[in-house]
Structure 1
Amino acid sequence: MKFGSLMLTLSASAMLAACASPASRFYTLGGGDARAVPSTQASFYFELAPVDVPQQVAKNQLVVQTSPAQVRVLEDERWASLPGDEVRRALSADLTQQLGAIDVYGTPHPESVPVYRVKVNVQRFESWPGSQAVLDAVWSVRAAGSDTVLTCRTVAQERVDAGYDALVDGHRKAVDALASAISAGVRSLSALPSTAAGPAASAKSKGGANAKPATAPVLPCPSASAATTASAQ
């Protein structure tokens, strides 16, 4: 009886081990090489709002494309945080490094320092294992207190090797490309004269309350991959 009980226990243990789920792996867009500290600090701040991503990928599991019309949710391959948070964190770090400015979203800051508000809406966040990582985003930059808005679209497609590490690295490079386009947009707005950055206020001060607002400048989108022309409204 004792021998039979021992064999039964060992068999049950073996079955449980065979049925046990493999350990999950977690990925982040915030890693990579250490970013150099900017040698000079910008004379402005920026605010990066929470990033919107498509609902079908707004989950911790990696969602990969198996065809243009079909996806697969990978239970054992997961993001360390939700994709929108991952993109925002990596994008904020990139913008801080490229602009030499501080992201003050949700943080008190001196009112005398100009602030550029950045909003990103990700239209596509596609993962094609062994093929490419795609980031298609519409973004805007507005100087706080200004009527001038720069609105552009950036499509970044990064070739990737096999494996999920390579896929995540492709998304990281796509975020870097998006950050470069947004940084150029912020610099374009910061280079405008103060009167151009606030046309309504300028016109009102010159012609009174009934004065017709001056026409805001139309700026080109800074990225060659942008599909629209910047609109200043």
Structure 2
Amino acid sequence: MRILLTAALLMLVLNGCSSPKTTFYTLHAEPIPQALAGAKNTRVMVGPVSLPEMIDQPQMVILGSDNQVQVYEYDRWAGSLKSEIGRVIASNLAKDIGTSNVWNFAQSTQTNFDYQVLVDVQNLQSKQGDSVVVDVLWTIKPALAKNQSAEKAPSQNAAPKSANLMGRSLVREPVTGTGVDALVSAQTRAFVKVSQEIARSVPN
């Protein structure tokens, strides 16, 4: 009887000390339609995406008070954050430049593209109840075939098509609401704005 009572108490202690439930998050991105009405034939590959080591991890990394960084052990990304960012930018580029031929480097084996968008996230600061700040360096790189043809017949009055187009997007997006859900929504909106700035530089 004493052994059974001890075992029952041990089970209660173990249940009481169980770890909190882990919640997984994704950035929101609309699926890219297979065919857009009047779509262009331009093929764009987004990625690779690079991130600072501090935020390139499964857990949410949140800016706390006094510039403290908090790692939320039980709030995690459902997949790679690099892939999530690439997926959001690819989805919105397809809509903004009017082509269905846009894909995320991390989710496709397709390598025949007209332009490759390299995304270097310099900073991603997220603060609950405040704002999300995204600082991104991006490069639009023409395919090698375009580079070779452009080098053979360069224009005298304009930059050759072989030249990479480089830019920087610095976006501050307010967090509307409380909790991690509101924070992730603000991160999505911030990267949507980054994709809009990239889209304005993709050659027609």
Range class of TM-score, shorter chain: 0.7 to 0.9
Give deviations 1:157-215, integer Å, cap 9, x for gaps.
Answer: 111121000000000001110111111111xx22xxxxxxxxxxxxxxxxxxxxxxxxx
Greater Rg by CA: 1
- Residue among 155, 158, 167 paired with 2:170: 155
On the 8 A contact 2:28/2:185 being kept in 1, the answer is no
**Cα shift at 1:67:** 3.6
Does 2:116 align with 1:107? no
Q: Structure 2 regions of 5+ residues with no counterpart? A: 148-160
Give deviations 1:44-92, integer Å, cap 9, x for gaps.
Answer: 1112121011110000000001146320111100001121111011111
Q: Which runs of structure 2 are paired with 1:171-210 in the superposition (5 Å)?
A: 171-186=187-202, 189-190=203-204
Structure 1 residues 68 and 147 mapped into 2: Cα distance closer, same or farther (>3 Å)? farther
Structure 1 residues 108 and 69 mapped into 2: Cα distance closer, same or farther (>3 Å)? closer
Structure 1 residues 180 and 49 mapped into 2: Cα distance closer, same or farther (>3 Å)? same
- Residue among 31, 50, 53 paired with 2:51: 53
**Cα shift at 1:108:** 4.8
Partner of residue 72, structure 1? 70
Give deviations 1:104-155, integer Å, cap 9, x for gaps.
Answer: 554154xxxx712211110111110111112110112133224322211111
- In structure 1, what is the Cα distance between the partners aligned to 2:172 and 2:128? 13
On the 8 A contact 2:32/2:94 being kept in 1, the answer is no
Identity %: 27
Does 2:84 align with 1:86? yes
- In structure 1, what is the Cα distance between the partners aligned to 2:131 and 2:83? 21
Partner of residue 199, structure 1? none
- In structure 1, what is the Cα distance between the partners aligned to 2:77 and 2:189? 16
- Residue among 186, 197, 202 paired with 1:170: 186
On the 8 A contact 2:133/2:173 being kept in 1, the answer is yes
On the 8 A contact 1:38/1:98 being kept in 2, the answer is no
Q: Structure 1 regions of 5+ residues with no counterpart? A: 191-233
Secondary structure at the residue paired with 1:10? helix
Partner of residue 143, structure 1? 142
Secondary structure at the residue paired with 2:201? helix
Structure 1 residues 138 and 24 mapped into 2: Cα distance closer, same or farther (>3 Å)? same
Which fold has the larger relative contact order, with Cα–Cα distance below 8 Å and residues 6 or more apart in sequence?
Answer: 2
- Paired residues, what number? 181
- In structure 2, what is the Cα distance between the partners aligned to 1:40 and 1:171? 31
Q: Which runs of structure 2 are paired with 1:206-225 in the superposition (5 Å)?
A: none
Partner of residue 115, structure 2? 116
Partner of residue 230, structure 1? none
- In structure 1, what is the Cα distance between the partners aligned to 2:64 and 2:36? 41
TM-score by length of 1: 0.71
